[in-house]
């Protein structure tokens, strides 16, 4: 396993530059990650972080929305962005010689966006269509409902896209204020991977971001897991979509890697216990899988499945039984298989400059360092069956569990039956 040639530079204003050279490539990925996302929003402007990300592409003081798209695609590049609950990213994939252009365009949309009122109204309609698409996609919507039930009345529990009613009336000033408050240099990272030269990137960063003034910003409100049940019958659906879960661990928790291995063993692939028993042996569903989301101060661990209303009681019983069996009887062979899946995905990702770029940025924002791949692999290798059992019981001890169903269930949703596991 090669050592990552990672270089990190911090400018005088706190802005960080991180890069990893992959000189055998002819391309590069480059972008700016900002340590702020939807959990930094007030309730009355829920959705502003995502709307801001959209509007950043809709014109600057020097480029129209069309010019932004054409200048990037004239060189065969691709420009994109995403908004998460804790981070927002603006990034590009280009040929190596076009890295300066990509950096300049990203800096332009982050520093000189005009938020034109006409463009805002047009993009507002686009975002409302995006919200409508989620509302029409139950296997997406159920995760928003699950997040909200796990963390009710909190920014971390609200949907990233925001509700239609708030987005429909979001004022331009809310975007301006949000960017001015949160997009500060000490919360920003310029990350690049591929055929890049670190010294040139630092020069670009100084020219493009070096004059940004840094001011203190307030942290996000601390998360408080609540859990409980939510039965949503509003959809005219053939299936019931169900999420069952508990409070998980944060990114920096010592049990983070054990949680990942637990997730893979329980429902991470075709050989996992849930896939084999729920789908292959009993035919109760088409889709069943586990998921784990880590945040700065908390996390979520859960199980998703979609099934027919008549099969819901049996599905819940089987999910509980298989989870119980894993936490009682996890074998070293299945834990080794789960570790192998995670390690393979990790190492395959190191062959993509886009994946490496995102990993660099995320690690700088969470840990203020590049976590060597060898260190991660060593921590994964240290997870044995006993660790999987221990972390599983730790997670299930968070009471109550969160159970969300979306679709045509009867008047009463069956009990899940995890009480013995949490004891």
Sheet with 288-294, side-by-side order of all strands: 228-232, 402-406, 240-247, 299-307, 288-294
The residues that bridge with 232 in the sheet, in sequence order, are: 406
Q: Which of 41, 119, 123, 359 is an active site residue?
A: 123
Q: Which of 4, 53, 247, 359 is an active site residue?
A: 53
Continuous segment of H or E residues that includes residue 90: strand 88-95
List all residues 6 or more positions away from 259 whose beta carbon is below 8 Å from its beta carbon.
248, 249, 253, 292, 299, 301, 391, 395
Sign of the C-alpha dihedral, residues 405, 411, 417, 422?
positive
Among this protein's residues, is 53 annotated catalytic? yes
CA 403 centroid distance within chain: 21
Instruction: State both tokens at 25.
Output: 């490539």
Instruction: Write down the H helix ranges in 217-305.
Output: 256-267, 273-274
Instruction: State both tokens at 186.
Output: 């000490």
Let me know: does 293 contact 287? Beta carbons within 8 Å.
no
Let me know: does 37 contact 50? Beta carbons within 8 Å.
no
Question: Which residue is it, tokens 């979306």?
Answer: 406
Continuous segment of H or E residues that includes residue 95: strand 88-95
Instruction: State both tokens at 291.
Output: 């998921």
List all residues 6 or more positions away from 341 whose beta carbon is below 8 Å from its beta carbon.
264, 268, 269
Question: How far apart are the two ends of the chain, measured CA to CA in Å?
Answer: 42
Q: How far apart are CA 254 and CA 257, in angstroms?
A: 7
DSSP 292-311: EEE-SS-EEEEEEEEE-GGG
Catalytic positions = 53, 123
């Amino acid at each position: 396993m090669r050592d990552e040639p990672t270089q990190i530079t911090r400018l005088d204003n706190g802005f960080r530059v991180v890069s990893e050279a992959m000189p055998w490539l002819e391309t590069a990925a480059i972008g700016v990650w900002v340590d702020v996302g939807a959990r930094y929003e007030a309730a009355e402007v829920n959705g502003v972080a995502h709307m801001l990300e959209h509007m950043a592409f809709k014109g600057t003081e020097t480029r129209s929305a069309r010019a932004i798209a054409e200048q990037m695609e004239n060189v065969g590049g691709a420009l994109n962005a995403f908004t998460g609950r804790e981070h927002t990213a603006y990034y590009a994939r280009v040929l190596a010689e076009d890295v300066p252009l990509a950096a300049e365009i990203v800096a332009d949309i982050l520093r000189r966006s005009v938020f034109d009122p006409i463009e805002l109204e047009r993009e507002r309609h686009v975002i409302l269509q995006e919200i409508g698409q989620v509302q029409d996609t139950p296997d997406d919507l159920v995760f928003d409902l699950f997040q909200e039930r796990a963390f009710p009345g909190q920014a971390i529990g609200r949907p990233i896209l925001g509700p239609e009613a708030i987005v429909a009336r979001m004022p331009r000033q809310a975007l301006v204020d949000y960017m001015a408050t949160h997009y500060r240099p000490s919360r920003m990272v310029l990350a690049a991977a591929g055929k890049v030269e670190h010294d040139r990137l630092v020069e670009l960063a100084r020219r493009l971001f070096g004059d940004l003034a840094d001011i203190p910003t307030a942290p996000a409100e601390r998360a408080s897991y609540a859990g409980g049940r939510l039965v949503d019958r509003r959809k005219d659906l053939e299936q019931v979509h169900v999420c069952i879960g508990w409070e998980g661990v944060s990114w920096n928790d010592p049990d983070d890697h054990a949680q990942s291995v637990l997730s893979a063993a329980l429902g991470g692939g075709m050989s996992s216990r849930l896939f084999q028993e729920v789908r292959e042996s009993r035919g109760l569903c088409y889709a069943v899988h586990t998921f784990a989301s880590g945040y700065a101060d908390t996390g979520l661990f859960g199980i998703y499945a979609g099934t027919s209303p008549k099969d819901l009681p049996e599905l819940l019983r089987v999910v509980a039984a298989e989870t119980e069996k894993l936490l009682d009887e996890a074998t070293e062979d299945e834990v080794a298989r789960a570790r192998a899946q995670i390690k393979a995905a990790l190492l395959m990702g190191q062959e993509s400059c886009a994946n490496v770029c995102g990993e660099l940025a995320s690690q700088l924002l969470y840990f203020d360092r590049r976590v060597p791949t060898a260190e991660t692999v060593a921590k994964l290798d240290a997870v044995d069956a006993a660790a999987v059992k221990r972390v599983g019981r730790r997670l299930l001890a968070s009471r109550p569990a969160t159970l969300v169903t979306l679709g045509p269930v009867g008047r009463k949703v069956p009990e899940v039956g995890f009480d013995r596991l949490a004891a």
